[in-house]
Chain A
Amino acid sequence: MLTALLVMIGLALFLGLVLGFSAIKFKVEDNPLVQKIDAILPQTQCGQCGFPGCKPYATAIAKGEADINQCPPGGEEGIRKLAELLGVEAKPLNAEHGVPKPKSVAVIDENLCIGCTLCIQACPVDAILGAAKHMHTIIAQECTGCELCLPPCPVDCIRMEPIQEDIANWKWKSPVYSMKRT
């Protein structure tokens, strides 16, 4: 019994050491620029930029395949930060990709929900809880307000509610400077 335990513990320890060592030895460095850009993007995973998520958009910006003004949830603030990071001039948001809206969360009208799970499949951040033929609900802390769950809903029971500013989520506004044209 004791030998069996020791053998398994030894095996697990040895394999753990090998894996831990090789994780350091074979570490693949991601492009640091992609990570910096990704940190600025709002992580709504909404896809309004035309890419499947924030990380792919960041990769495309780093490669120079996408412009910096395609992210409506990031707004002017996000574009300004991106421009600063990349050393290019800030430009207004490309209206083709949408307009900035107040930060909001999705809310499911639970009286109308028929439990079809279509919105669960659409949610990029797994913020909807529910099962087939059972009522769904949205985990408000996880919801990024990307609105991707609105179109698939067959009974239109999801609506977007702006987040009211209160004592818990209030923060300093960034200073706004009027830009001078030369």
Chain B
Amino acid sequence: MENYFLILISTVFVNNIVLVRILGLCPFMGVSKKLEASIGMAAATAFVLTLGSGASFLIDKYLLGTDLIYLRTLSFIVVIAAIVQFTEMFLHKVFPLLYQMLGIYLPLITTNCAVLGIPLLIVQERHNLVEALLIGLGGALGFSMVLIIFAGMRERLESADMPQVFRGSAIAMITAGLMSIAFMGFSGLAK
């Protein structure tokens, strides 16, 4: 039990997927200009990342085994793409409101490297299914938290008084770097 709790803390804070592992930077920089859009993206990613981690773990354990390790990347991409498609259809039918809120961000996740990176890390570190799902969920929570915090900061930066040369992407990069340094402070808290 304590172990699971530690995994969650570790993936959300200590090994945060964006700021410490530096994965999934494309949506982090691209979809963080507006708070609303970033919440949509965060929710969609959380959904797919958790499901994708579980499914890729099962594929790796029961289909690929030890002989076909070289098929990992290929088969994970196929599985994640299929999950995104399925999620889109399912949401469209069952939760039309949520579907409209997520909008374009849902299909965009197929090409998100965090979504492929976490399953690959999970199978490398030899976890079991529950741990895999928890790492997926933790990674998704960490991603959502950082994306939403960053979007909030960028909205404020828009109206901040600063030199012309720093405006726009430049200050966003610096902010992201500072956030990353801040998150390094968690290292050592858990493995």
The answer for the CA separation of A105 and B133 in the assembled complex, in Å, is 57
Q: Name the residue on B nearest A12 (C-beta).
A: B78
- Quick check: B78 and A19 within 8 Å, CB to CB? no
Q: A132: CB under 8 A from chain B?
A: no
Q: Does B93 contact A (CB under 8 A)?
A: yes
Which one of B59-67, B105-113, B147-155 is at the A interface? B59-67
- CB pair B79 A7 closer than 8 Å: no
Query: Is there an interface contact between B86 and A11, defined as CB atoms closer than 8 Å?
Result: no
Q: Is B182 an interface residue, CB under 8 A from the partner?
A: no
Q: Does B187 contact A (CB under 8 A)?
A: no
| Most chain A CB neighbours (cut-off 10 Å) among B63, B64, B82 | B82
Report B63-105 residues with CB < 8 Å from chain A CB: 63-64, 67-68, 70-71, 74-75, 78-79, 82, 85-86, 89-90, 92-94, 96
Chain B nearest CB: distance from A8 CB in Å? 7
* Known A3-B67, A4-B68, A19-B86: A11·B93 in contact at CB below 8 Å: no
Whether the Cβ atoms of B82 and A7 lie closer than 8 Å is no
**Contact flag A7-B64 (CB < 8 Å), given A15-B82, A18-B82, A19-B82:** yes
Q: What total of A-B pairs shows CB separation below 8 Å?
A: 42
Whether, in the assembled complex, A22 has its beta carbon less than 8 Å from a beta carbon of chain B, the answer is yes
Residue A28 lies at the interface, judged by CB distance under 8 Å to chain B: yes
The answer to whether A3 touches B68 (Cβ under 8 A) is yes
Query: Contact at B59–A11, with CB atoms within 8 Å?
Result: yes
Contact of A23 among B59, B74, B89 (CB under 8 A): B89
Return chain A residues, CB-CB under 8 Å to B78: 8, 11-12, 15
In angstroms, Cα B82 to Cα A19, docked, is 7
A15 in contact with B90 (CB, 8 Å)? no
What is the interface residue range for chain B against chain A?
A: 20 to 34
* In the bound complex, CA of A27 to CA of B82 (Å): 17
Q: How far is the CA of A53 from the CA of B167 in the complex (A)?
A: 36
Chain A residue numbers with a CB within 8 Å of B85 are 19
Per the bound structure, the CA–CA distance linking A28 and B100 in Å amounts to 13
Residue of A nearest to B93 (CB): A26
B94 contacts across to A, CB distance below 8 A: 26
Chain A hits for B96, CB < 8 A: 28
Which are the 10 A-B pairs with shortest beta-carbon distances?
Answer: A26-B93, A15-B82, A26-B89, A28-B92, A22-B89, A19-B85, A4-B68, A28-B93, A22-B86, A26-B90
29 contacts between A and B (CB under 8 A): A3-B68, A4-B68, A4-B70, A4-B71, A7-B63, A7-B68, A7-B71, A7-B75, A8-B75, A8-B78, A11-B59, A11-B75, A11-B79, A12-B78, A15-B78, A18-B82, A18-B86, A19-B85, A19-B86, A19-B89, A22-B86, A22-B89, A22-B90, A23-B89, A26-B89, A26-B90, A26-B92, A28-B92, A28-B93
Point out residues on A near B: beta carbons under 8 Å: 3-4, 7-8, 11-12, 15, 18-19, 22-23, 26-28
Apart from A4-B70, A12-B78, A26-B93, list 17 A-B contacts with CB within 8 A.
Answer: A3-B67, A3-B68, A4-B68, A4-B71, A7-B63, A7-B64, A7-B68, A7-B71, A7-B75, A11-B63, A11-B78, A11-B79, A19-B85, A19-B89, A22-B86, A28-B92, A28-B93
